[in-house]
Protein backbone atom coordinates (compact mmCIF):
# COMPACT_ATOMS: atom_id res chain seq x y z
CA UNK A 1 0.00 0.00 0.00
CA UNK A 2 2.88 2.22 0.76
CA UNK A 3 4.28 1.69 -2.67
CA UNK A 4 1.04 2.82 -4.42
CA UNK A 5 1.03 6.16 -2.66
CA UNK A 6 4.70 6.63 -3.51
CA UNK A 7 4.01 5.90 -7.19
CA UNK A 8 1.02 8.25 -7.25
CA UNK A 9 3.15 11.05 -5.80
CA UNK A 10 5.86 10.46 -8.40
CA UNK A 11 3.37 10.55 -11.27
CA UNK A 12 1.82 13.75 -9.95
CA UNK A 13 5.25 15.39 -9.70
CA UNK A 14 6.10 14.39 -13.29
CA UNK A 15 2.82 15.82 -14.62
CA UNK A 16 3.46 19.05 -12.75
CA UNK A 17 7.00 19.37 -14.16
CA UNK A 18 5.75 18.78 -17.71
CA UNK A 19 2.97 21.36 -17.32
CA UNK A 20 5.41 23.96 -16.03
CA UNK A 21 7.84 23.21 -18.82
CA UNK A 22 5.11 23.82 -21.41
CA UNK A 23 4.20 27.15 -19.83
CA UNK A 24 7.82 28.27 -19.66
CA UNK A 25 8.37 27.39 -23.31
CA UNK A 26 5.34 29.52 -24.28
CA UNK A 27 6.60 32.50 -22.29
CA UNK A 28 10.24 32.47 -23.31
CA UNK A 29 10.45 32.63 -27.08
CA UNK A 30 13.32 33.84 -29.13
CA UNK A 31 12.98 36.66 -31.73
CA UNK A 32 13.40 34.27 -34.58
CA UNK A 33 10.40 32.17 -33.58
CA UNK A 34 7.68 34.75 -34.56
CA UNK A 35 8.64 36.15 -37.97
CA UNK A 36 5.00 36.33 -39.06
CA UNK A 37 4.07 38.53 -36.10
CA UNK A 38 6.91 40.98 -36.72
CA UNK A 39 6.10 41.08 -40.42
CA UNK A 40 2.40 41.78 -39.71
CA UNK A 41 3.25 44.64 -37.32
CA UNK A 42 5.57 46.15 -39.92
CA UNK A 43 2.87 45.92 -42.61
CA UNK A 44 0.29 47.58 -40.37
CA UNK A 45 2.68 50.43 -39.54
CA UNK A 46 3.52 50.90 -43.24
CA UNK A 47 -0.14 51.39 -44.27
CA UNK A 48 -1.19 54.98 -44.91
CA UNK A 49 -3.51 56.52 -42.32
CA UNK A 50 -7.19 56.62 -43.30
CA UNK A 51 -8.39 60.03 -44.46
CA UNK A 52 -10.04 62.28 -41.86
CA UNK A 53 -13.68 63.24 -42.14
CA UNK A 54 -14.13 66.69 -43.68
CA UNK A 55 -15.00 69.55 -41.32
CA UNK A 56 -18.70 70.34 -41.09
CA UNK A 57 -19.87 73.27 -43.18
CA UNK A 58 -20.81 76.24 -41.05
CA UNK A 59 -24.21 77.68 -41.92
CA UNK A 60 -24.38 81.37 -42.59
CA UNK A 61 -27.30 82.95 -40.79
CA UNK A 62 -29.09 85.93 -42.21
CA UNK A 63 -28.66 88.99 -40.04
CA UNK A 64 -31.73 90.88 -38.90
CA UNK A 65 -31.79 94.51 -37.96
CA UNK A 66 -34.41 95.44 -35.38
CA UNK A 67 -36.03 98.68 -36.46
CA UNK A 68 -39.11 98.87 -34.24
CA UNK A 69 -37.81 101.20 -31.55
CA UNK A 70 -40.47 103.81 -32.36
CA UNK A 71 -43.43 101.39 -32.11
CA UNK A 72 -45.58 100.85 -29.02
CA UNK A 73 -44.06 98.75 -26.23
CA UNK A 74 -45.90 95.39 -26.31
CA UNK A 75 -45.53 95.02 -22.54
CA UNK A 76 -47.15 98.32 -21.55
CA UNK A 77 -50.83 98.67 -20.69
CA UNK A 78 -52.96 99.43 -23.72
CA UNK A 79 -56.13 100.35 -21.93
CA UNK A 80 -56.43 102.72 -19.04
CA UNK A 81 -58.67 101.73 -16.16
CA UNK A 82 -59.90 105.22 -15.30
CA UNK A 83 -63.60 104.31 -15.21
CA UNK A 84 -64.51 106.29 -18.31
CA UNK A 85 -65.48 103.20 -20.37
CA UNK A 86 -69.04 102.09 -20.93
CA UNK A 87 -70.55 98.80 -19.80
CA UNK A 88 -70.99 97.19 -16.40
CA UNK A 89 -68.61 98.22 -13.65
CA UNK A 90 -68.33 97.33 -9.97
CA UNK A 91 -69.65 100.03 -7.67
CA UNK A 92 -66.60 101.15 -5.70
CA UNK A 93 -68.79 103.25 -3.34
CA UNK A 94 -70.96 100.28 -2.31
CA UNK A 95 -70.27 98.86 1.14
CA UNK A 96 -69.15 95.23 0.97
CA UNK A 97 -71.48 92.64 2.49
CA UNK A 98 -70.42 89.77 4.75
CA UNK A 99 -70.64 86.99 2.13
CA UNK A 100 -68.37 88.90 -0.28
CA UNK A 101 -65.29 87.99 1.70
CA UNK A 102 -65.61 84.30 0.75
CA UNK A 103 -65.01 82.71 -2.67
CA UNK A 104 -68.23 81.60 -4.31
CA UNK A 105 -67.20 77.93 -4.44
CA UNK A 106 -66.69 77.88 -0.66
CA UNK A 107 -70.31 78.90 0.02
CA UNK A 108 -72.85 76.08 0.42
CA UNK A 109 -76.61 76.40 0.04
CA UNK A 110 -78.13 74.32 2.84
CA UNK A 111 -81.84 75.10 2.53
CA UNK A 112 -84.63 77.59 1.80
CA UNK A 113 -87.33 79.44 3.74
CA UNK A 114 -90.63 80.53 2.23
CA UNK A 115 -91.62 84.01 3.26
CA UNK A 116 -94.58 86.13 2.20
CA UNK A 117 -93.11 88.00 -0.77
CA UNK A 118 -90.55 85.42 -1.89
CA UNK A 119 -88.05 82.79 -0.97
CA UNK A 120 -84.93 83.13 1.20
CA UNK A 121 -81.96 80.79 0.81
CA UNK A 122 -79.85 79.59 3.72
CA UNK A 123 -76.12 79.69 2.91
CA UNK A 124 -73.37 78.29 5.11
CA UNK A 125 -70.03 80.09 4.84
CA UNK A 126 -66.60 78.61 5.66
CA UNK A 127 -66.83 80.25 9.11
CA UNK A 128 -69.71 77.76 9.83
CA UNK A 129 -72.28 80.56 10.15
CA UNK A 130 -75.55 80.27 8.24
CA UNK A 131 -76.68 83.43 6.45
CA UNK A 132 -80.03 84.37 4.87
CA UNK A 133 -79.76 85.31 1.21
CA UNK A 134 -82.46 86.87 -0.95
CA UNK A 135 -82.54 88.59 -4.36
CA UNK A 136 -80.33 91.70 -4.45
CA UNK A 137 -77.79 90.44 -1.87
CA UNK A 138 -74.12 90.32 -2.91
CA UNK A 139 -71.99 87.21 -2.35
CA UNK A 140 -68.66 85.87 -3.62
CA UNK A 141 -65.47 87.78 -4.37
CA UNK A 142 -66.45 88.88 -7.91
CA UNK A 143 -69.25 91.32 -7.02
CA UNK A 144 -71.83 88.56 -7.42
CA UNK A 145 -75.39 89.94 -7.11
CA UNK A 146 -78.16 87.42 -6.41
CA UNK A 147 -80.81 87.60 -9.13
CA UNK A 148 -83.17 84.86 -7.94
CA UNK A 149 -83.58 82.19 -5.28
CA UNK A 150 -85.06 78.80 -6.18
CA UNK A 151 -85.67 75.73 -4.05
CA UNK A 152 -82.60 73.96 -5.42
CA UNK A 153 -80.22 76.82 -6.34
CA UNK A 154 -79.29 80.49 -6.09
CA UNK A 155 -78.75 82.33 -9.38
CA UNK A 156 -76.45 85.33 -9.48
CA UNK A 157 -74.48 87.53 -11.87
CA UNK A 158 -70.77 88.20 -11.27
CA UNK A 159 -68.64 91.01 -12.70
CA UNK A 160 -65.29 89.73 -13.93
CA UNK A 161 -62.52 91.67 -15.70
CA UNK A 162 -62.32 91.01 -19.45
CA UNK A 163 -58.55 91.53 -19.65
CA UNK A 164 -58.87 94.68 -21.75
CA UNK A 165 -59.75 97.10 -18.97
CA UNK A 166 -63.49 96.41 -19.03
CA UNK A 167 -65.87 94.13 -17.17
CA UNK A 168 -68.11 91.25 -18.21
CA UNK A 169 -71.24 89.92 -16.53
CA UNK A 170 -70.98 86.18 -15.96
CA UNK A 171 -73.89 84.08 -14.71
CA UNK A 172 -73.19 81.76 -11.79
CA UNK A 173 -75.20 79.64 -9.37
CA UNK A 174 -74.85 77.94 -6.02
CA UNK A 175 -76.69 74.62 -5.85
CA UNK A 176 -78.35 73.01 -2.84
CA UNK A 177 -76.13 70.43 -1.14
CA UNK A 178 -77.37 66.82 -1.29
CA UNK A 179 -76.58 65.45 2.19
Give me the residue spans of the domains in the chain. Answer: 98-175
pLDDT for position 131: 92
DSSP H or E stretch at residue 172:
strand 167-175
pLDDT for position 106: 92
Architecture of domain 98-175: Roll (2.30)
What does the pLDDT look like over 2-14, one tens digit per residue?
556 678 888 888 8
Sheet holding 138-139, edge to edge: 138-139, 144-149, 153-161, 167-175
What does the pLDDT look like over 142-151, one tens digit per residue?
999 999 999 9
pLDDT for position 74: 76
Which residue(s) pair with 111 in the sheet?
Answer: 122
Mean pLDDT for the stretch of residues 168-176? 91
Q: Measured on CA atoms in the order 109, 110, 111, 113, is the torsion positive or negative?
A: negative
Q: What is the pTM of this model?
A: 0.51
pLDDT for position 70: 82
Looking at the predicted structure, is the pLDDT value of residue 80 above 90?
A: no
Q: Which of 130, 142, 131, 151 is closest to 170 using CA atoms?
A: 142
Amino acid sequence: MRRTSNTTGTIAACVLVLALAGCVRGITSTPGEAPNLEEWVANVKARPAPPLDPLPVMQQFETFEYAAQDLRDPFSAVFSDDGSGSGPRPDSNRRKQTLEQFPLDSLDMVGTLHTGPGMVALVMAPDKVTYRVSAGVYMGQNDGRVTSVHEDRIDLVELVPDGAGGWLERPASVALEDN
